[in-house]
Amino acid sequence: MMPTDDSQGPDRGDAPAKPAVARRVASAQDIADPPDLGRSLLGFRVHWLQMFIFLVIAILSLVLVFDTAARVSRQLEALRTSRADNQNYTVTQLEVESLDFALAVNVARQWQIAGQAGPAVQNGEAAEKERRALRQVRMRFDIFYSRIKTLENGLAHRVILESGGEPGLQLLLAFLDRTVPVMDGPDAALLALLPRLEGELLALRSVTRQLASQTITANAAAQERTRLEISRLLGRLALLSTVLVASLLAFMFFLWRLYRINRIRAVENRATLARLSTIVETSPDAIIVTSADGVITDFNAAAEAMFLLNATEAKGKSIGRLVKNGDFHNPAPAPERTGFVPAIDSGDLSNLHLVGQRADGALFPVELSTGMANLRDRPHCVIFLRDISERVAARRALEESRDQALAGERAKSRFMAVMSHEMRTPLNGILGVLDLMRDKKVDAGTRELLEVMEGAGQALLGHVNDVLDIARLEVEGVTLRKSDFDLDKLLRELMGGLEPGARARGNVMEMTCNPDPLGRWRGDPARLRQVLTNLLGNAVKFTRDGHVGLDVNLNPQPDGGAMLEVQVIDTGRGIPTDVLEKIFDDFVRVEAENTPQEEGTGLGLGIARRLVAAMDGNIGAESEEGEGSLFWVSIPLDAPQSAAHAPATPQMETAPRRKVLMVEDNATNRFILREMLRREGQDVSEAVNGVEGVKAAESEAFDLILIDISMPLMDGLEATRRIRAGGGPSAGARIVALTAHVIGDERDRYDAAGMDGVATKPLNLNGLRRILSGQGTEKDTAPAQKPVLDAAVLGELDDAMPRIQLIGLLQGFLDEGNDFIAVLPDLSVLPEDAQASAARVHYFSGLAATMGARRLHKALSAVETHLKTKDSAAARAAIAKVAPLWQLTVAEVEDQMAG
Amino acid sequence: MTTRHAFDCRNFKTAARVAALALGCCGALFAPAAATAESHIAASLGLPAPGQQPEGDVLLSVTITDSANTDAKHARYLFDRTALEVLPKDSFETSTIWTEGLQRFEGVRLHALVQELGISDGTLWLTAINDYMVEMPVSELRADGALLAHTRNGAPMTARDKGPLWVVFPYDENPRWQTETVYARSIWQLDRIEVER
């Protein structure tokens, strides 16, 4: 009968362990509604429901019990106060009295007969007896009469009717009616009737008899009915009472359970509260609870220590007086600092960096997290504060030392770059002269000397390039230029190039390819060649009268590409184990006794390692000292994009004759470049510095201007700006910068100045031809344009502020940008308005730079430059480029905001 | 039938004893006043002399025997209608289960009669002309209880309508008068009373 409710009962044993306070804020929520309470709350409700059900049952049965009891009571009352006499007695008495009457009649008849038959003397006596007998007859009749009348009247008659005795009663009544006149008449009449009366009474016997038995049977049935009814009612009463008692017991049981649950819960709540208050009080973080409008209601010990304010003073104050919005490092003037207000609607905040203010007015940086909780049915904000003064100080120190280290690193790189530049310039001159002398008629001896000189010069150039390579890789990383290339051809050229050197050392070179041919693939052939040249070069260099093998394997990959696996095996002197470990580090060289020092910077393998890594490949080495070395490289190659053979190298056809202005301060470089240009059939003009270059450009129309960047009086950038802005005949010429060091963001500066490309010095003929044919300048081949949005800039912003703030910032940028783009077509480019327009553009340009919108920034910078130089046409052209870029930027910004 | 009644009476006796105990306390308080009233009635009205034959038809004989002294002579009072009407008269209206409609009964309360006879305890044996007999303990008689009725609806009663004397109770007045014992005690065609004290 009792439902077992183990399933929903809040059994403490199997209740899920409360999760550790993963999010600190969660603990605030727990105060109001811990997870296990939620479950027992359900049990609680179930209990209430059960109790309610049993209460209803109890009330129902109580009502029924009352009803039944009332009926029983009525029945009992009816039993107690009988509405009827004993019917059975009455009807049997009727029979008795009829017999008495019959007996009296019989006696009277005896005396009548005796009187008629006996002697006269006796007659007198008999007459007296007869008279007395008649009196008896009359009395017995009266009694009989009274009895029948009793049956005719009152309740007895109803019983007669029910028992079907009415015809019998009617017979009796008819007899009375017949007999009464005789009874009340004279004795003689009665005497005359006696014989008939005797017969009639005999006949009536059966009537009275039947009436009696009928009545008794009916009474018995009625009594039985009554008994049954009472028995039924009492049974029902008993059942209902049982139900009542049972449901009351169940009700009590659930009440008792509820009481127990409540007690357990109260104990648990007390324990939880004690635990929580211990946590709160011992927390190293300040924990402050405020109402929705920021009024402090709780203030823990850590908060007291942090704000130098005791809890009683703090309560009732606004949190805004203790915590101010804004960045600690960019302090606004004190009056402008706005107080922090917990944003109930915005949900939980985490790790906001704000400013705390102690009671003595001192400011300190705080990290703030909030959690919303409903305490006592009202929203409250639980605020966790951490004094991050030390962390901020430590980070500052760390950042400073990092910045110093980076500055040092940059200085080193710059020094190396400048040094190699300074070395390459004269080297360039030497090699250029040698190049030219080869064409002149010289005797064999001189030619030999020239060749030696050129070899040495090339070696020196190689070293310088190595150093420059490292510097560039360190500063800007490796930029891959992928293209389709013929792997077989590349390897053949590689082997061919090294063959003479190998032969000179008595080495045999062998190449095995699997499969053969290897076919066309996509990758960066230049970098691949650089890596393999290095490895093969080393093998040749460190092997004498030995064997140098190149094993090439190509494993096709599921994506259509292939894994290129190359082993370079030599039988050279090998590498000592201790060196082998760091063989790919920079400036590591294998020193060996009794062997002539091989030339080299020790940078080759370092460069190879960087390049292989950039190509997503692996590189490694194994060696046995004295036995030889094995270097292996594995590099993934993509499937070629075009099956058709595309010319990998520009055709060396003669470029059309152009007017070329060369601006270069170094006479040697000027001489070499001039000679090269003339050989290519170009019309060359010269200027020795920026000022002269601008002058020349303004007086004559040039197709191409090659301009050195670092020059006295006016550098290449300034000169370019002036040529572009000057509106002279050469303002639209192609301008290509010549520089020995192109590092980092310098390219942006060239672009901003209006340059079309950059070429690295020293220029060889091939490089020059590419420039002349209008292709192959670094700018044109640069695979990646500036990013629309610079991830690095955004990353910094993301680190510097909470996400929500960043999104706000980006939204602001979009709003500003849309406004700006809307007015852009109306922007006046007239010289007289240029200053104001430039300021307008400059403002948004700065914003774009801040947000890392690099391409937009570049385009805006160009507009600004043209405006400042009052070049209306160029400005208008530049303005036209802004709107499409803005659309790109908007798309990416929106991606960022969504992500 | 007598046996059944006797059984009922025994039960009733037990209950009555308890009631009498309670009433006894009250009775003790009013005893002097009651005694005064009794003597006054006896003085002003009086009973027929014992054994005296009345002028009219004898309707009722009352025989008093002494159980403690069986040899003592029985006191016998005979009442005709006139003698009965001399006794303190009382009346009430009630319905009965043997008649139709309200009936007005007039006569003397049994309680008053036994007081007139100076009987304070013992048992009354009431017998009808058909020899139906009931037993009534004197202690159970109440001043507002059984009425020895000689007149019904203003007329004397004949033997044919349960006369000439009929012991009736005010049945409608109280459920107490609606029990089977009471109905059994409602003896009609009464002609003699024997008192054992």
**What number is the ipTM of this complex?**
0.72
3-state helix, strand, coil in chain B (%, to 5): 35, 25, 35
Cα radius of gyration (chain A): 62
Better pLDDT: A177 or A649? A177
Q: What is the pLDDT of residue A820?
A: 86
Residue A665 carries which DSSP code?
S
Percent above pLDDT 90 for chain B: 23
Q: CA A762, CA A433: separation in Å to the nearest integer?
A: 13
pLDDT of residue A776: 44
Among the residue ranges A5-14, A320-329, A666-675, A685-694, the one predicted with the least confidence is A5-14
pLDDT at A80 over 70: no
CB-CB neighbours of A151 under 10 Å: 23
Residue A118 reports pLDDT greater than 70:
no
| pLDDT for residue B69 | 64
> How near does any CA of chain A get to the CA of B55, in Å?
20
CA quadruple A384, A386, A387, A392: dihedral positive or negative?
Answer: negative
Q: Report the pLDDT value the prediction gives residue A123, as an integer from 0 to 100.
A: 61
pLDDT score, position A646: 41
Task: Identify which has the larger pLDDT, A167 or B3.
Answer: A167
Together in a domain, A68 and A92: no
pLDDT at A784: 43
Stretch among A17-26, A520-529, A553-562, A695-704 having the lowest mean pLDDT: A17-26
Q: What is the distance between the alpha carbons of residues B41 and B47, in angstroms, rounded to a whole number?
A: 10
The tokens describing A178, both together, are: 């017949």
pLDDT band of A718, cuts 50, 70, 90: confident
pLDDT at A432 exceeding the cut of 60 = yes
User: Do both A175 and A193 map to the same domain?
Assistant: yes
Per-residue model confidence (pLDDT) at position A836 = 81
Selecting from A82, A142, A143 the residue whose C-beta is nearest the C-beta of B178 gives A82
**Mean pLDDT, rounded, of chain A:** 79
CA pair distance A735, A20, nearest whole angstrom: 67
pLDDT computed for residue A592 by the predictor: 55
Interchain contact, A153 vs B188, CB within 8 Å: no
B178 vs chain A: nearest CA distance in angstroms? 5
Burial of A212 (0-12, 13-18, 19+ CB in 10 A): buried
pLDDT at residue A27 tops 80: no
Statement to judge: residues A162 and A216 lie in one domain:
yes
Q: Is the pLDDT of residue A834 over 70?
A: yes
Partner-chain contact B160 A84, CB within 8 Å: no
User: Would you say residue A8 lies in a domain?
Assistant: no
Across residues B108-129, what is the average pLDDT? Answer: 89
- Using a CB-CB distance cutoff of 8 angstroms, which residues of chain A are in contact with residue B184? 85-86
Q: What is the mean pLDDT of residues A300-314?
A: 88
CB contact under 8 A, A82 and B179: yes
- Domain-embedded: residue A697: yes
Summarize the confidence of residues A189-212 as an average pLDDT: 86
Chain A residues with CB under 8 Å of B190 CB are none
A654 lies in a domain? no
Indicate the Cα dihedral angle A872, A878, A879, A884, nearest 10°.
Answer: 160
Mean pLDDT in residue range A301-318: 88
- Chain A hits for B153, CB-CB cut-off 8 Å, are none
- Looking at the fold, whether A797 and A877 belong to one and the same domain comes out as yes
Query: DSSP secondary-structure letter at A518?
Result: -
A831, A872 contact by CB (below 8 A) = yes
**pLDDT of A633 higher than 90:** yes
Assess whether pLDDT exceeds 70 at residue A475.
no
Q: Which two tokens stand for residue A262?
A: 């409540």
Structural domain of A336: 283-387
| Main-chain phi, psi angles of A586, to 5 degrees | -75, 150
Q: Is residue A803 part of a domain?
A: yes
- Look at A18-27, A89-98, A488-497, B93-102 and tell me which has the smallest mean pLDDT: A18-27
A45: exposed, middle or buried (Cβ count in 10 Å: 0-12, 13-18, 19+): exposed
Q: Are residues A681 and A821 in the same domain?
A: no
Same domain, A247 and A345: no
- Lowest-confidence range among A122-126, A268-272, B142-146? A122-126
Q: Is the per-residue pLDDT at A781 higher than 60?
A: no
Mean pLDDT over A637-648 rounds to: 64
Q: What pLDDT score does A85 carry?
A: 64
Tokens 């002349």 found at: A772
* Full 3-state SS string of A757-824: EEEECCCCHHHHHHHHCCCCCHHHHCCCCCCCCCHHHHHHHHHHCCHHHHHHHHHHHHHHHHHHHHHH
Residue after which a domain boundary falls, among A637, A669, A685: A637
Examine the pLDDT at B177 and tell me if it is beyond 70. yes
Euclidean distance between CA atoms A388 and A328, whole angstroms: 10
Q: Cα A716 from chain centroid? A: 53
Residue B163 has pLDDT above 90, yes or no: no
Distance CA B163, CA B59 (A): 10
Average pLDDT over residues A707-722: 84
Q: Are A491 and A531 in contact (CB under 8 A)?
A: no
Q: Decide: helix, strand or coil at residue A47.
A: helix
Find which of B8, B98, B165 to mutate to test the A interface (most A CBs within 10 Å of its CB): B98
Whether A252 maps to a domain, the answer reads: yes
Inter-residue contact B5 to B135 (CB < 8 Å): yes
pLDDT score at A645:
45
Q: Are residues A484 and A622 in the same domain?
A: yes
Tokens of A797: 């912003």
Q: Cα–Cα distance between A450 and A427 in angstroms, integer?
A: 14
- Number of domains composing chain A: 7
Nearest to A108 by CA among A188, A42, A38, A33: A188
Residue A139 has pLDDT above 70, yes or no: yes
- What pLDDT, on the 0 to 100 scale, is given for residue B28? 42
First to last CA, chain A: 59
B159: nearest CB among A89, A93, A146? A146
SS3 A899: coil
Average pLDDT of the segment spanning A835-861: 81
> From the candidates A143, A149, A177, which should be mutated to test the interface with B, based on the most B CB atoms within 10 A?
A143
Mutation for testing the B interface, residue in A101, A144, A146, A151 having most B CBs under 10 Å: A146
Q: In Å, how far is A77's CA from the nearest CA of chain B? A: 9
- Per-residue pLDDT at B147 exceeds 80: yes
* pLDDT band (50, 70, 90) for residue A408: confident
State whether B189 and A146 contact (CB < 8 Å): yes
Residue of A nearest to B185 (CA): A85
CB contact under 8 A, B180 and A85: yes
- Under CATH, what is the fold of the domain B2-196? Sulfite Oxidase; Chain A, domain 2 (3.90.420)
Q: Where residue A635 falls among pLDDT bands split at 50, 70, 90? A: very high
Cβ A108 vs Cβ A133: under 8 Å = yes
Query: How far out from the chain centre does Cα A631 lie?
Result: 47
> Do both A209 and A251 map to the same domain?
no
User: Among A116-120, A241-245, A446-450, A556-560, where is mean pLDDT lowest?
Assistant: A116-120
pLDDT of residue A741: 57
pLDDT value at A332 more than 80: no
Distance from CA of A47 to the nearest CA of B (A): 51
Which pair of structure tokens corresponds to residue A460?
A: 């020196």
B15 has a chain A CB within 8 A of its CB: no
- Higher-scoring residue by pLDDT: A169, B17: A169
CATH number at residue A709: 3.40.50.2300
Half-sphere exposure (CA, 13 Å, Cβ side) for A440?
A: 10
Whole-number pLDDT of residue A337: 62
Residues A212, A163: one domain? yes
Both tokens of B181, joined, read 């014992």
Contact (CB, 8 A) for B195 and B65:
yes
For residue A250, the tally of other CB atoms under 10 A from its CB is 20
8 Å CB contact of B98 and A146? no
Percent of chain B with pLDDT over 70: 73
Q: Report chain B's mean pLDDT, rounded to a whole number.
A: 76
A71 in contact with chain B, both atoms CB, cutoff 8 A: no
- Mean pLDDT over B141-155 rounds to 91
Average pLDDT over residues A461-473: 76
Residue A495 pLDDT exceeds 90: no
Residue A466 lies in a domain: no
pLDDT tops 90 at residue A255: no
Same domain, A704 and A597: no
Predicted pLDDT of residue B38: 40
A354, A326 in Cβ contact below 8 A? yes
Same-domain pairing of A770 and A798:
no
Query: Cα dist. A592→A535, A589, A846 in Å?
Result: 19, 9, 58
With an 8 Å Cβ cutoff, are B99 and A154 in contact?
Answer: yes
Does A287 lie in the same domain as A277?
A: no
Q: What is the pLDDT of residue B167?
A: 94
Question: Is residue A159 one of the residues assigned to a domain?
Answer: yes
The domain that contains A606 carries what CATH number? 3.30.565.10
Chain-chain contact of A149 with B179 (C-beta, under 8 angstroms):
no
Token representation of residue A267: 């104990």
Asked if residue A14 belongs to a domain, the reply is no
CB proximity B127 to A under 8 Å: no
Kindly report the nearest CA distance between residue B117 and chain A, in angstroms.
Answer: 29
pLDDT of residue A346: 61
Residues A193-221: what's their mean pLDDT?
Answer: 86
pLDDT of residue A336: 57
Q: What is the pLDDT of residue A344?
A: 60
Q: Which residue of A has its CA nearest to B96?
A: A154
Does residue A477 surpass a pLDDT of 80?
Answer: no
In order of A435, A667, A815, the CA distances from A453 in angstroms are 11, 21, 65
Q: Is the pLDDT of residue A6 over 70?
A: no
Partners of A490 in the beta sheet? none
